[in-house]
Structure 1
Amino acid sequence: MEFTKSKALFEEAKKFIPGGVNSPVRAFPSVNIDPPFIQRGKGSKIYDVDGNEYIDYVGSWGPLILGHAHPEVISALKDVMDLGTSYGAPTDLETRLSKLVCEAVPSVEMIRMVNSGTEATMSALRLARGYTKRDIIVKFEGNYHGHSDSLLIKAGSGALTFGVPNSPGIPQDIAKNTITAKYNDIEGITNIFDRFGKDIAGVIIEPISGNMGVVPATKEFMNHLRKITKEYGSLLIIDEVMTGFRVSFHCAQSLYNIDPDITTFGKIIGGGLPVGAYGGKREIMKHISPIGDIYQAGTLSGNPLAMTAGYITLKILKENPYIYEELEEKSKMLENGFVENTKKIGVKATFNRVGSMLCMFFTEKKVVDFSSAMTSNTSQFAIYFEEMLKQGIYLAPSQFEATFLSAVHTKEEIQKTIEANYHALKKVI
């Protein structure tokens, strides 16, 4: 493959944008190659400025469950754009999407639209703290909830210590109110509540983590979180920015039969446009301004374009439930093919999959939390990634990200991907 134009554009971008990108992983730092610059996408494919074609398993990091440039989404967006792009005033489009989300997710009785997943989780924490009149938030190692100060916190040196900033620029005074616990560790979270329970405003969790690779929480762990938060009067916040409408139309919480207090959304509910949302019980959400005293606002929140793309996307998913059945079938086909290849070649690998989210870890250890994910051989992944890219397979450029399938990936494309996987794994060995 030729990447001449992409290399030139990357060098130009680095003169004006930190690292040449507007989100760090796009620079491909963990795979030691320059990123291709994408020109367009259609269906399951993306095309770079050098004319290379890829079968895309990133899907804009999850939102494009219907594929790139879905004709119904694009048509609706064109109609709305003719009327204007933003008003900073209420529109019926906001209500239509909000109603659809509330109907699909029983735990969400009211919802507030924002512009990103980071904004959604940041606002959910403020709501939890304001509602409970408490300061401490508990998060889990390996879960990612965006880059707001309260959540960009890593674990302290001991099992029962407060966190330390993950990045310069985060005051220690903020970090001291965040406790980072071990994922899927019932004893650990119990000990934290035994010591700090009366001061814990809320616990935030990805029910299926997607930023240390795909790592699902166990049902026992989720049930324990729901029980212990209720016992101490803390709020349970489920981060469905990635999993919402991805693993099920009723979201990940339906797979666990869990009724959270607050849920955060993003990605799919914007149909590929910038979006975020947080919602939950009416009793809690009515504390948000202007009917309550917890302030949160946004100039472009609920903008017509994102509301339209999100509404059409969810409407298609609701009216065509077979999409999830087909996604499961195709995702299982991809996983089985990958597993068989690793056995044939003798590569040490572990697989985690939930619905159309998949991750192949280059480790023989079962991955259930952050520490087990970190046993992965990232050098092997870098070789694997580059070889897959050369064969026209576009994966997330990190061992610790998910592979996403869309409704428009064909079985022929999946078979081609399995064959590419075989050749790439041989290069790894």
Structure 2
Amino acid sequence: MTTAAAVHSADVALSHRAARVIPGGMYGHQAVRHLSPAYPQFFAGGEGALITDVDGREYVDLMCSWGPIVLGHRDPVVTAAARAQMDLGDCLDGPGPVLVDLAETMVDAIADADWILFGKNGTDATTACLTIARAHTSRSVILAARGVYHGAAPWCTPVPTGTLASDRAAMGYFDYNDVDDFDRAVQAAGPDLAGVLLTPFRHVEGEDQQLVDEDFARHVRQRCDDSDALLILDDVRCGFRLAYGGSWEALGVPVDLSAWSKAIANGYPLAAVTGREALRDTASTVFLTGSFWMNSTPMVAALATVRRLAEIDGVALMQRAGARLRAGIEAQAADCGLAIRYTGPDVMPYLTFAGDDDRSRMTCFAEAALAAGVYLHPKHNWFMSCAMDDSVVDRALRGTEIAFAAVRRHFGTP
């Protein structure tokens, strides 16, 4: 039998070297030590909808680098724009002219944006939203849905090792889409309610994804208005994938602040906060900064990305690819007699097996898919990109067909 070390010899060598100089060998959500040994830790490159690991194995990328890749790896338009800017300079003593170009473009594109601030990571953006909300209202409490991921700062990290109880002292929690529990949380916050932080849909590792109920969204908006509190949308994961002008644009439910990152620059490090006019003065008084926040190359990449998404109607392309993948996967599961749940929006789907409490079926599925050339995660939602045309989706489905057969072979049918 071929060992994992033999199959991933370059990856194993890099992992051994990393273990000597990096705690745990790798850290954060990209550490594959929590997954099967079949998963490669290191990658050599990407092109379109495909990625290649350091051992030369190619995969259809259903993770899109955990969300940032929206047009496709090394999109030629974005890459050319970024290279041109790098030839001019990137980290300078102040921002380049592209700062203004990008700010104007995004404010025009986003429904609830009258102004914009830039940062680097999603956590930068969500934390800035909380800071602005507290400064504007002179209140403390922010309400958020239980279990939903908002970043890796002490106030929100899902792994609270090394944090203090006081880091979350001004946070309150409620069950997503539960009006009664939300009202309870509002009542508990009382006159100290500064804002409510929501994601466009509920994504909690190991649990079915849940789209926001429109009536719930409207109820939250009304309670925020009644309390003179701010409604904050965490659009870091969903922005420019669910919709072009903001993920709640179609609901007709306005938000006061929005946090953005991931897809806005097609893999280049950038985040943003957008807000309505009434918050402009407050946003100008809050101190937000970072040594690399004004780098021009990510902003040029973002400008090219946002414009390109509009030109090609990227959201529609991803929705089409996601619908094709969903239909194929549901048909494959039915053909194998396997009961699955395929939840969330088509552009960010999540697969689980019925009765798979220990995730053994999903682990088997993911390992078999990986061996068949499809990179997906057994516990995290997947992502579609504009590079996923019919041929790519069909290639992915050939891999998932093999993966479903492996699950049936090892576990049988319910």
TM range, normalised to the smaller chain?
over 0.9
Number of corresponding residues: 401
Matched, 1:325 2:316: yes
Cα distance 1:376–1:197, how it changes in 2: closer, same or farther (>3 A)?
Answer: farther
Q: Which amino acid aligns with 1:205?
A: L
Q: Which residue of 2 aligns with 1:422?
A: 401
Which residues in structure 2 correspond to 1:178-217 (within 5 Å)?
A: 178-212=171-205, 214-217=209-212
Matched, 1:123 2:116: no
- 1:177 corresponds in structure 2 to 170
Relative to structure 1, the CA distance from residue 222 to residue 377 in structure 2 (aligned partners, 3 Å threshold; closer, same or farther) is farther
Distance 1:337 1:281 in 2: 42
1:272 maps onto 2:277 in alignment:
no
Deviation readout 1:295-321 (Å, 9 max, x if unpaired): 221221131111011100001111222
Q: How far off its partner does 1:31 sit?
A: 3.7
- Equivalent residue number for residue 110 of structure 1: 115
Q: Partner residue of 2:326? A: 335
CA contact (8 A) 1:32 1:382 kept: no
Q: How does 1:242-321 map to 2 (within 5 A)?
A: 242-289=237-284, 292=285, 294-321=286-313
In 1, distance between residues paired with 2:37 and 2:193? 41
> Do the aligned partners of 2:137 and 2:194 also contact (CA within 8 Å) in 1?
yes
Gaps of at least 5 residues in structure 2 are 409-414
Asked whether the 8 Å contact 1:359–1:402 carries over to 2, the reply is yes
Task: Measure the CA separation in 2 of the matches of 1:42 and 1:214.
Answer: 29
- AA matched with 1:343: A
CA distance in 1, matches of 2:260, 2:99: 15
Name the CA distance, whole Å, in 2 between partners of 1:182 and 1:244.
Answer: 22
Deviations 1:146-198 (A, max 9, x none): 01122236xxxxxxxxxxxx512222222221112111111100111123231
Q: Is the 8 A contact 1:208 1:252 kept in 2?
A: no
Counterpart-to-counterpart distance in 1, 2:228 and 2:337: 50
Q: Supply the distance in 2 between the matched residues of 1:31 and 1:200 (Cα, whole angstroms).
A: 44
Indicate the larger mover: 276-285 or 131-140.
276-285
Q: What is the distance in 2 between the residues matched to 1:180 and 1:6?
A: 41
Distance 1:31 1:140, change over 3 A: farther
Where structure 1 has 5 or more consecutive residues not aligned to the other structure, the ranges are 154-165, 365-374
Matches within 5 A, 1:13-28: 13-28=18-33
User: How far apart are 1:22 and its partner, in Å?
Assistant: 4.2
- Once the 2 structures are TM-superposed, how far is the Cα of residue 6 of structure 1 from its aligned partner? 0.7
For 1:3, the aligned partner's letter is H
Matched, 1:6 2:11: yes
| C-alpha separation in 2, matches of 1:18 and 1:34 | 19
- Letter paired with 1:151: C
Q: TM-score, normalised by structure 1?
A: 0.89
The reply to whether residue 240 of structure 1 matches residue 235 of structure 2 is yes
Q: 1:35 to 1:215 in 2, by over 3 A?
A: farther
What is the DSSP-based 3-state SS (H/G/I as helix, E as strand, rest coil) of the residue aligned with 2:247? helix
* Pairwise CA distance, 1:359: 1.1
Runs of 4+ in 1 over 3 A off after TM superposition: 30-34, 209-214
CA distance in 1, matches of 2:315, 2:248: 16
Any idea what SS the aligned residue of 1:20 has? Answer: coil
Partner residue, 2:74? 69
Report the equivalent of 2:411: none
Local SS of the residue matching 1:179: strand
Deviations 1:71-95 (A, max 9, x none): 1111111111111121130321111
Aligned to 2:363: 382
- 1:372 alignment partner in structure 2: none
Kept in 1, the 8 Å contact 2:50–2:60? The answer is yes
| Contact 2:111/2:249 (8 A) holds in 1 | no
Following superposition, the deviation at residue 355 of structure 1 comes to: 4.2
2:326–2:346 contact (8 Å) kept in structure 1: no
Q: Counterparts in 2 of 1:358-377, with a 5 A limit?
A: 358-363=349-354, 377=358
Quick check: 1:50 aligned with 2:63?
no
Q: Structure 1 CA distance, aligned partners of 2:177 and 2:29?
A: 28
CA contact (8 A) 1:136 1:202 kept: yes
Is 1:60 matched with 2:68? no
What is the identity percentage for the equivalent residue pairs of Structure 1 and Structure 2?
25
The residue type equivalent to 1:184 in the other structure is N
> What secondary structure, in the 3-state scheme, does the structure 1 residue paired with 2:248 have?
helix
